[in-house]
Structure 1
Amino acid sequence: MKVTDLALADSALEFLSQQGITKLYPPQEDAINAGLLEGKSILVSAPTASGKTLIAMLGIINYLYKSKGRVIYLTPLRALASEKFSELKKLEKLDLGRSIKTAISTGDFDSVDKDAENADIVVLTNEKMDSLIRHGVEWLDQIGLIVADEIHLIGDTDRGPTLEVVLTKLKELENRPQILGLSATVTNSDEISEWLGCTLVSSEWRPVPLTEGIFDGGTILWSNGESYEIESSIRGPPVDLSLDTIKNGGQSLIFAETRTRSASLATKGADAVSKFLSDSEKKDLEKISAKLLAGNEQTDLVKTLAALLKKGVGFHHAGLNQNCREIIESEFRNGKIKLLASTPTLAAGVNLPARRVVISNIARYDVKSGTNKPISVLEYKQLCGRAGRPQYDKYGEAIIVGNSNTSDLIDYYINGTPEPIKSQLADDRALRTHILSHIVTNPGIKSEDVFDFFLKTLAGLQTRKNTLKFAIDISKRFLLNEELIVQKGDRFAATEFGKKVSMLYIDPITAIYFKRGIETASENRNHTLGFLHLVTSSEEFFPKFSLRNKDHEVLSTLLENHSSELIEPISEYDCSRSLLAIQSWLNESSEVHLSDSLNIESGDMHRLVETADWLVYCLYEIAKLLGRSDLLEQIATLRKRITYGIKEELVELVQIKGIGRIRARKLYDHGIKNLEDLHAIPTKKLAEIDKIGPIIADNIKSQLKKVR
């Protein structure tokens, strides 16, 4: 089907033509034939790179041309939300009879973004959408089209229940919005589409044909029965497999099971890859390496990565900060990086295809069981989905590094069927959280109505009624006992505490833990370390890094020296390395020090700070609700210190925009210790201080006038 055959506005057809889109892929044509442009709800189940994003674009353009409502685009990850926002922002150029505004909202769960209120297209994470529903935003009834990306993640233990509840609530809106679900190929897509009330569009088509194989004993055995020998070396099979495709002009992506292995594999391949680079490519990579070093503190991790980049090789994992990850992703897309070794998190995030994908190990460490477990068939298929670069490759290859079990791996993974998507909503944590939020948003709701709502979820479709009812009753009893909800007859309502917990978007278990800590805290005492322990040991805190042997002595000294700050006596075994990292951050430790002393990389530290900031805010709100005004100032101060990574003496200085932890310390060391000192110092002398300069000095002075 040609794009010009579509019943879209002329400006839309011209826009698609400018994007080089003239003909639809088979799944896109199937979606059109299923009624996408007639407003019918559709679930598209198709492989990665089969054109699902364009299906969403067509649905959005069509809806905005014909209707006055708004579109929401749901994604599971912030990185994916940013990527989609950039793509959808292009639609603002369209003339659809009205101007189009696109917004993104992925941040603070305890607020409503102003930008989203007036936007026609709003890109949100699933959690942010859930939070907005809890806050009762007025524009919910204006939603006419819901695009739910990566819908197969409903089966994910952590993120699945929120997406499931959000979709249940949105599809029950009075105006019955059109739903467009985008999913990987899953076994029970017919069941998911039935639950959503969608027409199923299922396809196995890929723009680049995929060949799958197992590597064992120096030979790739392809699924079609053919074999291919690989030149072996001491670098190991994953690197050898990658070099084989790089020497033929392709790129290779290796999925490694751990961060350490990803860096190790990249290092092993570096010298060999560099031999395939042209002089101009080497010059470009020198600049990219220098850019990485200039934009980051030079930890060992950053220096290692920068050295590898010069040779056309990189690695990618959660320890890298956003700046490093963006450079790696961008330069791999541009074809500058020939070999990228990554942990599997990349497969669920941004789109980075390569001609050959190598799965170095099918085992992953499972936190709950404490052992290595084989990956699922669904995860394998997701990793394979990165093989083959549209517009660049005529084929894609996905290869598992085997271990004398080739036939088993072919049967299980290559010829296997992905596991059906199963709801995770009946899990204790998910159920208590979402039951509370449902009662908060429906005060006076009857017990039978609570049950009826959960019957409308996927869990309601997949779980026996008696089993689900029993689980719901247990969660309600827990919420009643902990005074988050109250019951009068057969009706339920949330207490003030319950309402606050739901709006703060935290697990009730965490809120109860915080409540008890606040009630125990002494008056007129500094509880900085006590509050930090409360936050970092809570159920909600992530990531939690376990203590190493050498950390115990440091921690023991810290607890002894700050024992007066503790809310109740604790031992070092009640603590994590994350507590040490946050404490070190508050003492203005550099990224280099955090990496060297605690093995906490900048990407990890960013997430630690982000999570701690949010949970300390929750702590503040709960303390305020409980009437502990004596604690509010020190909790607020602690939050500022966490945000900036500063000692308490710098809190006043960082109030001025542009003065972060580095400049605040420089000012303080020059005797400028508060806003009065900043007022007093002449602009010229202020500009002479290291890290300030004339422009920033003028900016500081202009802001001081506003503060007054």
Structure 2
Amino acid sequence: MRIETLGINHSAQEFLAEQNITKLYPPQADAVKAGLLEGQNILVAAPTASGKTLIAMLAMMEFLSTKQGKIVYLTPLRALASEKFSEFKKMEKLDFGRRIKAAISTGDFDSVDKESENADIVVLTNEKMDSLIRHGAEWVDKIGLVIADEVHLIGDKDRGPTLEVVLTKLKELPAKPQIVGLSATITNSNELAEWLGCKLVSSDWRPVPLAEGVFDGGTILWNNGDSDEIESSIRGPPIDLCLDTIKKGGQSLVFAETRTRSASLAAKGSDAVFKFLSDSEKKYLEEISQKILDNNEHTDLIKTLSSLLKKGVGFHHAGLNQNCREIVETEFRNGKIKLLASTPTLAAGVNLPARRVIISSIVRYDVKAGANKPISILEYKQLCGRAGRPQYDKFGEAIIVGNANSSDLTEYYINGTPEPIESQLADDKALRIHILSHIVSNPGIKGEEILGFFQKTLAGLQIRKNTLSFSIEIAKKFLLRENLIVQKAERFAATEFGKKVSMLYIDPITAIYFKRGLEAVSENNAHTFGFLHLVSSCEEFFPKFSLRNKDYETLSTLIENKSSELIEPISEYDCNRSLLALHSWISESSEIHLSDNLGIESGDMHRMVETADWLVYCLYELAKLAERADLLEELSTLRKRISYGIKQELVELVQIRGIGRVRARKLYDHGIRTVSDLQQIPVNKLAEIDKIGPTIADNIKSQLKKVR
């Protein structure tokens, strides 16, 4: 099916032609035949790289050219949201007789931003969409098209319930927006389509054929019955498989079960990969390696990554900061990195295909189970989805590294059927969060109406009515007991506490824990360390790192020294390593110190800072509600200290744009300790201070003029 036969707007045709899109892939053609361009609700269940983004764009362009209203594009991850926003931003050049505007909104769950309000296309995480609905954002009623990416993640215990509730609410909007769901190939896609009220477009088609196999005893046994011998070396099977592809001009992506193993595998392959690089590639990668060193503190992790990039290999995991991850992703896409070792998180995130994907182990450590467990068939299929680069390869290969059990692995994973998607909404935590949210949005709602709403979810389709009703009653009793909601006759409404908790987007249990902590805080005392403990030990805080043997003594001493700041008596056994990291961070520890002494890398610290900032903000808002005005200044100051990683004495200086933790410390050490000091120092003297310079000095001075 060719683009010119679709009858879409001429500007849209030109836009697609500029991107060399003239013909539809089979799943795209099937979606059009199913009524995509006529406003029909569609669920597309198809493999990675089968063109689902273009299906979304066709629906968007048709909507923008023929209808008024807003489009929301929902994704599970911020990284995916950023990637999609970059693609949709290009659509602003379309000429539909009006200016098209795209926006992205992924952070700050306690606000409604103006940019989204004024945009035609809004890219959101599922959580942000949920938050906007809770806040009663007026533009939600104007939504005419909903595109939900990675719909199969409804089966994810952590992220699934929010997506399920959001889709239930959106499909119930009075305007009845068109729903376009994009999903991996799943077993019960019919059930999912029935729940969403969608026509199902199911396809196994891929633009690049995929061969799947198991590597065992030096031989790849392919699913079509063929086999290939692989040259063996001391580097180990995963790297031997990578090198086999690189020799033939392809790239390899190897999935490792841990961060340590991903870096280790990259190191094992580095010298061998280096031999395949051209002189120009070596020169280019030297520059990339230096760029990593120039833009980051020289922790062991950074130095290792930098040295490996020179050789055409890299690793990718959550310990790397955003800057490093983006460089690795870009250079892998550019074909400069030949071998990339990654933890499986990459499979669910950004689009980074390779000719050959190697799954070095089919087990993962399960934190809740406290043991290694085999991955699901669905996860295996997602990892395989990265094999084959549509623009570069005529085929893709996905290989499991076996261990004398190749026939079992072939039967279970390669020939196996992915697990059906099951709703996770009946989980205790999910129900108390979303029942509270629903009552907040519908004050005076009756019990039977609450049950009625949840019967419209996927859980309502999959779980017996009596079972769901019983679980809802338990959650309501909990919310009533803790004074988050009240009941009058048959009707329910949220208390001020309940409304605040829902708007803050935290688990009611966390809010209750915070409330009790705030009640226990004495007046006329600093409680910074106590607040850090409160935040780092709650359910929402992430990432949490358990204490190592050598950390107990450090923490014990710290607790003793900070005893006056505690909210209640604690011991080191009540804490985690993340508390040590947060305390070190606001004491101005460097990334090198955090890495060397606590094993906390910059990527981890960044996520801790984001989470802690949000949770301290929640504490601040709950303290306001509890009329604890005596705590507000300290909590506000703590937020600034967490955001910048500074001691209290630098808080005033960092209010000036361009002065971060490093420059603030340099200024302070030169005797410039307040905004008033900054105003008095001559600009030429300010410029002479290390890390300042003429440009920054001028910028600081111009800001100070505005302050006056």
TM-score w.r.t. length of structure 2? 1.00
The amino acid of 1:102's aligned partner reads A
1:59 correspondence with 2:67: no
Query: CA separation in 2, counterparts of 1:645 and 1:391?
Result: 44
User: How far 1:705 sits from its partner (Å)?
Assistant: 2.3
After superposition, give the CA deviation of every residue in 1:441-461 in whole Å (9 maximum; x if it has no partner): 000000000000000000000
Residue 682 of structure 1: how far off its partner (Å): 1.0
What is the Cα deviation at residue 707 of structure 1? 2.3
Per-residue CA distance 1:283-306 (angstroms, 9 max, x = gap): 111111111111111110000000
1:392 offset after TM fit, Å?
0.3
Deviation, 1:429, is 0.5
Q: CA deviation at 1:699?
A: 1.2
1:391 CA displacement: 1.4
CA-to-aligned-CA distance 1:378-412 (integer Å, 9 cap, x gap): 00000000000001000000000001111111110
State the secondary structure of the residue aligned to 1:103. strand
2:518 is the counterpart of 1:515: no
Matches within 5 A, 1:131-170: 131-170=131-170
Matches within 5 A, 1:510-589: 510-589=510-589
Aligned match of 1:685: 685
1:379 aligns with 2:361: no
Could you tell me which residue of structure 1 aligns to residue 624 of structure 2?
624
Deviations 1:579-624 (A, max 9, x none): 0000000110110110000000000000000000000000000000
Unaligned runs of 5+ in 1: none
Distance 2:365 2:409 in 1: 19
Instruction: State the partner residue of 2:498.
Output: 498
AA of the residue aligned to 1:113? D
| 1:346 to 2:346 alignment | yes
Q: What SS does the corresponding residue of 1:124 show, helix, strand or coil?
A: strand
Structure 1 counterpart of 2:114, which letter? K
For 1:650 and 1:391, the matched residues in 2 are separated by 51
Alignment-mate amino acid for residue 598 of structure 1? L
Distance 2:7 2:622 in 1: 54
Superposed CA offset, 1:84-127 (max 9, x none): 00000000001012110000000100011110000000000000
In the alignment, structure 1 residue 282 sits paired with structure 2 residue 301: no
- Aligned partner of 1:643 in structure 2 is 643
Q: Does 1:477 align with 2:469?
A: no
SS of corresponding position for 1:146: strand
Aligned-partner SS, 2:182:
strand
Q: Alpha-carbon deviation of 1:413?
A: 0.4
Once residues 631 and 286 of structure 2 are traced to their aligned partners in structure 1, the CA distance between those partners, rounded to angstroms, is 52
**What is the distance in 2 between the residues matched to 1:530 and 1:447?**
40
Q: Which residue is equivalent to 2:42?
A: 42
Query: Separation in 2 of the partners of 1:29 and 1:676?
Result: 66
Matches within 5 A, 1:365-376: 365-376=365-376
**In the aligned structure 2, how far is the partner of 1:535 from the partner of 1:268?**
40
Distance in 1, matches of 2:469 and 2:440, equals 19
Q: Match of 1:227?
A: 227
SS at match of 1:654: helix
CA RMSD in angstroms, aligned pairs only: 0.5
Which amino acid is the alignment partner of residue 222 of structure 2?
Answer: W
Deviation at 1:704, TM superposition (A): 1.4
- Deviation, structure 1 residue 683: 1.1
Distance in 2 (alpha carbons) for counterparts of 1:73 and 1:212:
32
Moved over 6 A (4+): none
One-letter code of the match for 2:91?
L
Q: Which amino acid aligns with 2:462?
A: Q
Structure 2, gaps ≥5 residues long? none
Q: Which amino acid aligns with 1:574?
A: D
Give the Cα–Cα distance (whole angstroms) in 1 for the partners of residues 467 and 214 of structure 2: 42
**Residues of 2 paired with 1:137 and 1:203: CA distance?**
37
Q: Structure 2: which amino acid aligns with 1:552?
A: Y
Instruction: Encode CA deviations 1:443-502: one digit per residue, 9 max, x unaligned.
Output: 000000000000000000000111100100000000000000000001000000000000
**CA distance, structure 2, for counterparts of residue 369 and residue 169 of structure 1:** 33
Distance across 2 between alignment mates of 1:249 and 1:701: 55
SS in 1 for 2:200: strand
Separation of aligned partners in 2, 1:87 and 1:113: 21
Alignment partners' CA distance in 2, 1:5 and 1:288? 45
CA distance in structure 2 between the aligned counterparts of 1:555 and 1:500, rounded to whole angstroms: 34
Residue in 1 that maps onto 2:186: 186
2:610 is equivalent to residue 610 of structure 1: yes
Letter matched to residue 420 of structure 1 = P
Structure 1 position 172, deviation (Å): 0.1
Give me the TM-score of the superposition, normalised by structure 1. 1.00
The match for 2:454 is: 454
Residues of 2 paired with 1:565 and 1:141: CA distance?
A: 47
Residue 81 of structure 1 aligns to a residue whose secondary structure is helix
Q: Which residue of 1 aligns with 2:251?
A: 251
Deviations 1:559-585 (A, max 9, x none): 000100000000000000000000000
* Structure 2 Cα separation of the partners of residues 33 and 151 of structure 1: 21
Amino acid in structure 1 at the alignment position of 2:634: Q
Question: How far apart are residue 554 of structure 1 and its match?
Answer: 0.6
> By how many angstroms is 1:8 displaced?
0.9
SS of the residue corresponding to residue 145 of structure 1 reads: strand
Q: Counterpart in 2 of 1:174?
A: 174
Whole-Å separation in 1 of the counterparts to 2:216 and 2:696:
60
Helix, strand or coil at the partner of 2:49: coil
How many residues are aligned here?
708
Deviation per CA, 1:197-255: give whole Å up to 9, x if none: 00000000000000000000000000111111000111000000000000000000000
| One-letter identity of the residue aligned with 2:531 | F
User: Deviation of residue 355 (structure 1)?
Assistant: 0.3
Letter in 1 for 2:135: H
Local SS of the residue matching 1:605? helix
**Cα displacement string for residues 287-335 of structure 1 (whole angstroms, at most 9, x for unaligned residues):** 1111111111111000000000000000000000000000000000000
Q: What is the identity, as a one-letter code, of the residue corresponding to 1:642?
A: I
Alignment of 1:318-467 (within 5 A): 318-467=318-467
SS at structure 2 position matched to 1:284: helix
- Match of 1:144, SS state, is strand
Aligned positions of 1:290-329 closer than 5 A:
290-329=290-329
Matched residues in 2 for 1:702 and 1:392: separation?
51
- The amino acid of 2:12's aligned partner reads A
Alignment-mate amino acid for residue 608 of structure 2: L
- Separation of aligned partners in 2, 1:33 and 1:91: 24
User: Which residue of 1 is the match for residue 205 of structure 2?
Assistant: 205
Question: Which residue is equivalent to 1:27?
Answer: 27
**What secondary structure sits across from 1:215 in the alignment?**
strand
Deviation (angstroms), 1:706? 2.4
How far residue 694 of structure 1 moved from its aligned partner, in angstroms, is 1.3
CA distance in structure 2 between the partners assigned to 1:676 and 1:530 by the alignment: 32
1:327-373 CA-partner distances (Å, limit 9, x unpaired): 00000000000000000000000000000000000000011110100
CA distance in 1, matches of 2:319, 2:533: 23
Code of the aligned partner of 1:513: Y
Identify the residue that residue 101 of structure 1 maps to in structure 2. Answer: 101
Distance 1:472 1:677 in 2: 59
Tell me which amino acid in the other structure corresponds to 1:443.
Answer: P
* Structure 1 residue 6, shift from structure 2 partner: 1.1
What CA distance in whole angstroms lies between the structure 2 residues aligned with 1:383 and 1:17? 31
Give CA deviations for 1:179-207 in whole Å, capped at 9, x if unaligned.
00000000000000000000000000000
- Structure 2 Cα separation of the partners of residues 704 and 443 of structure 1: 48
